[in-house]
Amino acid sequence: MAARATRLIAAGVLAAACVSCVQNDGTRFNPVEDAFTVSEEEERELGFEFDQALRENAIVIEDPVVAGFINDLGQEIVREIEPQPFVYRFRVVQHPALNAFAVPGGYIYFHSGTLLSAGSIDELAGVMGHEIAHVKAHHYKRMREKAQIPELLANIAGIAAAVATKEVAPMIAAQAANVAVQLRFSREFENEADQLGGVFMTRSGYRPDGITRFFERIMEVSERYPQDIPPYLFSHPDVGDRIRSVEQRAKSLRTTGSPDPRFAGELREVQARLAYLLDTGRENVPPPSPPEDPRRLDPHLEQADRLAQEGRLDEALLVLAGAERLEPNDPRAPYQIAERLAALGRHREAIVAYRRTVRLDPTRARVFYRLGVSHRAVGSRHSAVHAFEQAAQRAGARSDLRKRSEWQIETLIFPPFTETRFADARAESLGERPEARRDVFPAEIAGVAWWGHLDERYDRFAERLRVRWLGPRGVHVETPVKAAEGGWARSVLELPTDAEPGNWKIEVLYEGDVLERGAFGIQPST
């Protein structure tokens, strides 16, 4: 573990405690590393492995309300800067320091002290925007490609050993901060993160002076509780200059988006909830009082089930809605509503109902898994990963649900297909991949071939995939996938001479899970 962590923790250390980092003008460079380059895939891998090590050894707050709040806030800001090569993850790590740090590949960590101390949602959004900017601008990648500081190598061994001996939580705060004194992002990168972070948060509708206020809060707290302030802050010769610079820049920015008002409204609730968890040592806040008579909803649920089996899903939903009003603290009614809505393909509504269920009972791994499936169905990959992580955390260590959750996470972080295409099935063989992508085919087409180029980590799964073809008027066909040359996979739909014209959709499946979606059209005959 320690040897493995040597490479992993390097990524976190380089980015650690970046809210208040400055340039060390005496930095020495290692010319051997000057030509070292880092791909986006390697950034993802570094972040993923670092996160695995941290989650195994540090205390990460898994309460669904607290974890969901920080994740949703981060995703609201990320949504304004899509497309992104990474799936962003936002975590709350138990530590009193006013600090946050980012790791390559989209992993961003907030110390619990930061969340508890934020005076407004704008302050929290300001810190969030700054950290997102470090990832978005590939600062780790650019630093590694420019230089490698020799002192880093002497410190990583100690941090890796701390991971192996279950002492990573204090080491992340102490060792990483000490190394940050030597390895700070350059002033260019910090200024860039300040500038980009301000732009990102204002696109989502937050006040640009939020980050300024947070810096001032750090200075205020340092006078009363110096032990809660990262030690490198005191060696920072230009804190005042940086605050003034950020403040000046904020005056030139104007909010352009409209923030979701629920975040401002929920901040105090989340802070109180987090304080309760830390004070009591609990993992979750107890759910609302259970219903006085757990059997009260049984006849309603049975009636809804009968209606659903008869295909009367809308009537079943009405019965379930009445049941939820009758007993609002029973999680079974909103869960059944979510399941029925998902079955109808109404995944956005299902997500709302699954979330109501989680509020009432945050212990059920299957609810989080189903929430992840609905998020994935609507294309919300960031929120899908968060939900699958919650499912994996609650499922048994060797359960099938945990394995499925981890598979979903992996395929969302590391997309299985680097490229997909459609082609005339008669034009190419397994050894002749299509040279150009086609999205529309003539009416007389005899067959359409789907082609997908698999990332190398998924090569072995090629022939375990299937393609579901969804045509106009309910046409539904599944076809096998065959491995082709050069990492490609291929599946063919044979069509009759009078094939249905219109829009067709495809879903690439692995054991029933949708890994990829696509669409093409068939022209009507003339």
Host domain of residue 421: 417-522
Q: 327 and 209, same structural domain? A: no
Give percent of the chain with pLDDT exceeding 70.
Answer: 75
Q: How far apart are CA 400 and CA 382, in angstroms?
A: 23
Q: 253 and 306, same structural domain? A: no
Query: What global pTM score does this model have?
Result: 0.76
Give percent of the chain with pLDDT exceeding 90.
Answer: 37
Inter-residue contact 383 to 71 (CB < 8 Å): yes
Looking at 413, 446, 461, which one is the last position of a domain? 413
Inter-residue contact 504 to 522 (CB < 8 Å): yes
Q: Identify the pLDDT of residue 468.
A: 95
Q: 65 or 431: which carries more pLDDT confidence? A: 65
Q: Residue 465 phi/psi, 5° resolution?
A: -90, 160
Tokens of 152: 């880093």
Within-domain flag for 284: no
Cα separations in angstroms, 216 against 15, 23, 124, 128, 219? 22, 20, 13, 16, 5
Q: How do residues 232-261 score in pLDDT, each as one tens digit?
A: 344 333 556 666 666 666 666 667 777 788
Q: 230 or 467: which carries more pLDDT confidence? A: 467
Inter-residue contact 232 to 17 (CB < 8 Å): yes
Q: What is the CATH number of the domain that holds 396?
A: 1.25.40.10
Q: Which residues pair with 89 in a beta bridge?
A: 107
Tokens 């790791």 -> residue: 103
Helix (H, G, I), strand (E, B) or coil at 447: strand
Q: What is the CATH number of the domain that holds 450?
A: 2.60.40.1930
Q: 246 and 137, same structural domain? A: yes
Q: How far apart are CA 64 and CA 67, in angstroms?
A: 5
Within-domain flag for 71: yes
Residue 156's pLDDT band, with cuts at 50, 70 and 90, is very low
Q: Identify the pLDDT of residue 395.
A: 93
Within-domain flag for 285: no
Number of domains the chain is built from: 3
Tokens 């059997």 -> residue: 295
Inter-residue contact 300 to 322 (CB < 8 Å): yes
Q: 318 and 437, same structural domain? A: no
Within-domain flag for 286: no
> Of 189, 170, 205, 258, nearest to 21 (Cα)?
189
Tokens of 391: 């499912």
Looking at 356, 391, 413, which one is the last position of a domain? 413
- Count CB atoms within 10 A of the CB of residue 507: 17
Q: Give the residue-averaged pLDDT of 10-39.
A: 46
- Report the range out of 89-98, 300-309, 479-488 with the highest average pLDDT: 300-309
Q: 395 and 435, same structural domain? A: no
Looking at 246, 279, 312, which one is the last position of a domain? 279
Residues 6+ apart with CB under 8 A from 415: 455
Within-domain flag for 152: yes
Q: 379 and 250, same structural domain? A: no
Q: 422 and 467, same structural domain? A: yes
Peptide bond into 362 cis (omega under 30): no
Q: 82 pLDDT exceeds 50?
A: yes
Within-domain flag for 287: no
Q: 173 pLDDT exceeds 90?
A: no
Q: 388 and 495, same structural domain? A: no
Q: 263 and 353, same structural domain? A: no
Within-domain flag for 288: no
Q: Identify the pLDDT of residue 518.
A: 92
Q: 39 and 131, same structural domain? A: yes
Q: 480 pLDDT exceeds 90?
A: yes
Q: 403 and 454, same structural domain? A: no
Task: Report helix, strand and coil shares of the chain as percent, to nearest 5.
Answer: 55, 15, 30
Q: Give the residue-averaged pLDDT of 450-457.
A: 91
Q: 254 and 152, same structural domain? A: yes
Within-domain flag for 173: yes
